[in-house]
Structure 1
Amino acid sequence: MADEYFSPVCDDVVLTDPGTRTLDVVQAVRRLTGLSLWHSKVLTVRVPAVILAGVPQEDTEAATTALRDAGAQAEVRQQPEPDSLEP
């Protein structure tokens, strides 16, 4: 059997607009990242902000849904493919 290299799809969750319910979005960011309340607030008001980086696709979908449910606008951005190492 030939060895296969498997690379899971990893994406970033980007907060593009906190919306009008900022406190709800701050709480959602805090739950997703584990940051303190103060750091979550700073991250929320400095948009566009990468909330999660390099996470599997299933987690990005769940995080984006949580942020949208809190009243924010969020999107998933794919990370660029690493360049292949050729001599």
Structure 2
Amino acid sequence: MEVEYVTLVCDDAPNDVVLVDPGTRVLDVAQVVRGLTGLSLWRSKVLVDQAPVLILDGLPEETAEIAVTALRGAGALAEVRQQPGPHSSGPAA
């Protein structure tokens, strides 16, 4: 019996949206977070106050970029971080 192995290649690795710094317009950023996550305004404000914090995870790159653009438009410092793949090595010891 012959065994075949298949390697799946994903063109779009999952990405995270990270709020690095809310800037001076915290309530504006909280409203954007509310729109992105569906959280209440109060919970969004609590999340924003915890920056740097993960806002969204596991998104396609295009969707993550749109979310980051919305956060930056509200005055925040945000970035897209690509999630490590299953075969990537962990942090150096």
- On whether the aligned pair clears a TM of 0.5, the verdict is yes
Q: After TM superposition, where is structure 1 displaced by more than 4 Å over at least 4 residues in a row?
A: none
User: Matched residues, percent identical?
Assistant: 61
- CA distance in 2: counterparts of 1:30 and 1:72, whole angstroms: 14
Partner of 2:40: 36
1:66 matched to 2:66? no
The structure that has the greater radius of gyration is: 2
10, 13, 17: which one aligns with 2:14? 10
Indicate the SS of the match to 2:86. Answer: coil
1:46 matched to 2:45? no
19, 31, 40: which one aligns with 1:27? 31
Q: CA RMSD in A?
A: 1.5
1:38 Cα deviation after fit: 1.2
- Give ranges in structure 1 of 5+ residues lacking alignment: none
Indicate the SS of the match to 1:9. Answer: coil
Indicate the SS of the match to 1:23. Answer: helix
- Give ranges in structure 2 of 5+ residues lacking alignment: 1-5, 89-93
59, 83, 86: which one aligns with 2:87? 83
